[in-house]
Structure 1
């Protein structure tokens, strides 16, 4: 039996479906409503990683735990919720794993925990978040969440950490990284010269499963297929949707103006801003990720070319939203 937290999110939902399709017994944690479109034999359990009792009950009879639950937000108003869920929630998961005698924990972290604002050097797994190398509270929360996992390892828990870059997949495109595709479909005109790593959600899930099934423990791995400009990714998605690609370049000055206007708009409307100071800075940065450690650990593992992933995802989203 395998437990998956965050089973309704982009990574968690793809993981649950892949595990179930291959005959794995899966127990999936949900908070409010059981989602549709999943295989029938998944055991859904209502719970919350902030509720220690529900976590303990969910881990009864479980051997392995995939901890995917987290809040991804760059909205300053969600600071308390972000820190509580990502840090305290992970601490609860680690403690429950230790108490339940779980065989192995796989924690989905983020490259934000590595301090990704490093334009002079390629980022690898030896790096960590710091005030100088990260501009987001989210990055700090994931770094501190990793510290809870390392604490668990120090107390005897077998665990492995993955640090995905920007994950591309078909999901709710009103939230999260799937919003890239909605922006392309809506012919969002702006682009930056920023560079980041990108990876297919299906590759993230495959890497997670192979690491879980391996003897590897007390290690972290960057999951990244390719380092590309945001413009390249947006343009390829627009092409697949037969839409106009972005054509207006965002300068640092324009970005600074826009995030300030969005902050004012957010205060007036109560809605989360589309752009924040942190995301504006990140979109301008040219950041490159070293993916060689995973390739050395799993020599047979290969990444899907991002162009191929975008073509598939756009097709899935076209069906999902009847475009």
Structure 2
């Protein structure tokens, strides 16, 4: 197999992907703003520079056969909208144009389930055929910019391009708290009430394996939802409480009152300076009042993707956050899951045929 380029290799998903590619013995190049000890330890080639620099991109794409495009910015801050659009839209356009000129064969773009899998109705479970949710996410620049990124990627001509759409990522290794910050707030008892919405999450290790399976078996111009359980926020907090031993919040208040209270508290915190933020911000409160449910049947049937038990993911997430941020004791390293082992072996031998899977169902505590 030819050389692989990974953008966003130092992020939460990227770190797990690089570890798997390294175990497969792939020749990997990483586009990063700077070399890091973690990249040095993996022994990958590093091209230092920006995704928005044409000369850097040309150097990064030279001699590359496949690209995993994971680079981006995860933020709920409306003030970061401009930077997110530049990275997700302008950066992706420039990368795809450069990759095409360099005769790259195949690109997997990491989008998010939130481009299509968000609703105000609990009974709605989105699939890859669901429409973009412009109206629902118009005030959330992260998701809106990812919609435009995804439209750009899936319309690209002259090269195989496809998207993976993982739901919110949990699991060990989120050092920047890009996805699991709310779990840390739960552990610190900073979430006072139960939101009215619902959540879908997936283990970052399983999402990384899904990216490899999509590269190997995915159809060009297709997207693949990579999600786990569809739980109400009440169900999620109950199960997170079981995994952590922390009593979940029991209070519930009307949605409008919750949003108003969050805005008032956030405003009071900002009086102390522009860098101060309330423990629970208004955007997070509003997002938690929606249902982010999705169905990953396509990834299961076409790619042979099978995520681990979600309780294992919650247990590993809690353990990592406690060790990293709360002074907890380290845990012994776990053996790779069946899915991780499968995609690692695929580097040397043919993968097993994709198994037939039953349709996902919601589970209750």
In the superposition, the TM-score normalised over structure 2's length comes to 0.80
Q: Aligned-pair RMSD on alpha carbons? A: 2.3
**For structure 1, which segment, 198-207 or 251-260, has the greater mean C-alpha deviation from structure 2 after superposition?**
251-260
Deviation at 1:287, TM superposition (A): 3.7
Contact 2:199 2:230 in 1 (8 A): yes
1:308 aligns with 2:339: no
Query: Residue in 2 aligned with 1:61?
Result: 63
Q: Distance in 2 between matches of 1:313 and 1:239?
A: 13
Aligned match of 1:122 in 121, 125, 135? 125
Contact 2:195 2:285 in 1 (8 A): no
**For structure 1, which segment, 95-104 or 177-186, has the greater mean C-alpha deviation from structure 2 after superposition?**
177-186
- Show the 5 A alignment for 1:65-80: 65-80=67-82
Aligned match of 1:258 in 257, 262, 270? 262
- State the secondary structure of the residue aligned to 1:228: strand
Q: Distance in 1 between matches of 2:183 and 2:25?
A: 32
Contact 1:181 1:234 in 2 (8 A): no
Structure 1 216/267 Cα, relative in aligned 2: closer, same or farther at 3 Å?
farther
- State the secondary structure of the residue aligned to 1:48: coil
Query: Residue in 2 aligned with 1:288?
Result: 293
Deviation at 1:16, TM superposition (A): 0.7
- Show the 5 A alignment for 1:230-245: 230-245=233-248
**For structure 1, which segment, 169-178 or 217-226, has the greater mean C-alpha deviation from structure 2 after superposition?**
169-178
Structure 2: state its 5+ residue gaps. 329-365
Please identify runs of 4+ aligned residues in structure 1 that moved more than 6 A. Answer: none
Structure 1: state its 5+ residue gaps. none
Deviation at 1:311, TM superposition (A): 1.4
1:7 aligns with 2:9: yes
- Show the 5 A alignment for 1:5-154: 5-36=7-38, 39-114=41-116, 116-119=118-121, 121-135=124-138, 136-152=140-156
Between 1 and 2, higher relative CO (CA 8 Å, sep ≥ 6) is seen in: 2
Q: Distance in 2 between matches of 1:191 and 1:35?
A: 40
1:203 aligns with 2:206: yes
Deviation at 1:121, TM superposition (A): 2.6
Deviation at 1:284, TM superposition (A): 1.2
Q: Distance in 2 between matches of 1:115 and 1:236?
A: 22
In the superposition, the TM-score normalised over structure 1's length comes to 0.90
Q: Distance in 1 between matches of 2:253 and 2:50?
A: 40
Contact 2:199 2:236 in 1 (8 A): no
Q: Distance in 2 between matches of 1:166 and 1:266?
A: 28
Deviation at 1:27, TM superposition (A): 1.2
Deviations 1:207-227 (A, max 9, x none): 110110125211001111110
Q: Distance in 1 between matches of 2:47 and 2:101?
A: 19
Structure 1 110/62 Cα, relative in aligned 2: closer, same or farther at 3 Å?
same
Structure 1 138/202 Cα, relative in aligned 2: closer, same or farther at 3 Å?
same
Contact 1:31 1:46 in 2 (8 A): yes
* Equivalent residues, number: 320
Deviation at 1:273, TM superposition (A): 4.1
Contact 1:34 1:44 in 2 (8 A): no
